[in-house]
Chains A and B, each alone.
Chain A
Amino acid sequence: DIQMTQSPSSLSASVGDRVTITCRASQGINNYLAWFQQKPGKAPKALIYGASSLQGGVPAKFSGSGSGTDFTLTISSLQPEDFATYYCQQYKSYPQTFGQGTKVEIK
């Protein structure tokens, strides 16, 4: 199975901050990587697919980059509604696997 290592596991940031989350795959996955946001008690909300393509309806403050084994999710200017847990997901091969999540909290 492909292991996904996400970092940091949590971070504290202020409104307006630029935030970067990284995800590393244990083997190359080309660009078969998605990012999603999850708030407590809610279903995941897809943000990015294909490592860098913005999901429809998702604001442009979210961006993704990377290919192969190393990927990043960037939030350009953190807003109150962005405080949540973020996960990466590889879909290059089955079983699909997920990072352990990054909880973004208010400083």
Chain B
Amino acid sequence: QVQLVQSGAEVKKPGASVTVSCKASGSTFTSHHINWVRQATGQGPEWVGWMHPNSGDTGYGQKFQGRLTMTRNTSISTAYMALSSLTSEDTAVYYCTRGDSSGWSWGQGTLVTVSS
């Protein structure tokens, strides 16, 4: 089953942008969608968007349209999520996830804190 390792915590000011990476190992990187999910403290998970690493096709949650970009570098099996125009409401732990024929894998999470 795929293992997903994410980049470290980030602290950003309102209005800034953040990029979180997700490196896959143990399975073919390009075979299945990578999803991003976020979770604010004390809240349930919220789906952010998906990307197919082979084609680069993406789909974003409606509330993130216009400020979310998902990309990948297939040579290093890494997916990226970039979120711009950050506000305090974007403070959350961001997870990459992937499902395949053997189930779901989750990254360890990346805390993004937006604070002035």
Q: Do residues A43 and B105 form an inter-chain contact, with CB atoms below 8 A?
A: no
Q: Do residues B103 and A49 form an inter-chain contact, with CB atoms below 8 A?
A: yes
Q: Do residues A44 and B95 form an inter-chain contact, with CB atoms below 8 A?
A: yes
Please measure, in the bound complex, the distance between the C-alpha atom of A101 and the C-alpha atom of B46, giving whole angstroms: 12
Residue B35 lies at the interface, judged by CB distance under 8 Å to chain A:
yes
Q: Do residues A36 and B44 form an inter-chain contact, with CB atoms below 8 A?
A: no
Please measure, in the bound complex, the distance between the C-alpha atom of A97 and the C-alpha atom of B35, giving whole angstroms: 12
Residue A23 lies at the interface, judged by CB distance under 8 Å to chain B:
no
Question: Chain B interface: which size bin?
Answer: 20 to 34
Chain A residues 45 to 68 lying within 8 A of chain B, measured CB to CB, are: 45-46, 49, 53, 55-56
Q: Answer whether A43 and B102 are a contact pair too, CB < 8 Å, given A56-B1, A87-B45, A98-B44.
A: no
A residues in contact with B46, CB < 8 Å: 98
Stretch at the interface among A13-21, A73-81, A88-96: A88-96
Among A45, A49, A56, point to the contact of B99 (Cβ < 8 A). Answer: A49
A residues in contact with B44, CB < 8 Å: 87, 98-101
Chain B residues 32 to 61 lying within 8 A of chain A, measured CB to CB, are: 35, 37, 44-47, 50, 59, 61
Stretch at the interface among B16-24, B79-87, B106-114: B106-114
CB pairs A–B below 8 angstroms (30 shown): A34-B99, A34-B103, A43-B95, A43-B108, A44-B45, A44-B95, A44-B106, A45-B106, A46-B103, A46-B105, A49-B99, A55-B104, A56-B102, A56-B103, A87-B44, A87-B45, A89-B45, A91-B99, A94-B50, A94-B59, A95-B47, A95-B61, A96-B35, A96-B47, A97-B47, A98-B44, A98-B45, A98-B47, A99-B44, A100-B44
Interface residues of A (CB under 8 A from B): 34, 36, 43-46, 49, 53, 55-56, 87, 89, 91, 94-101
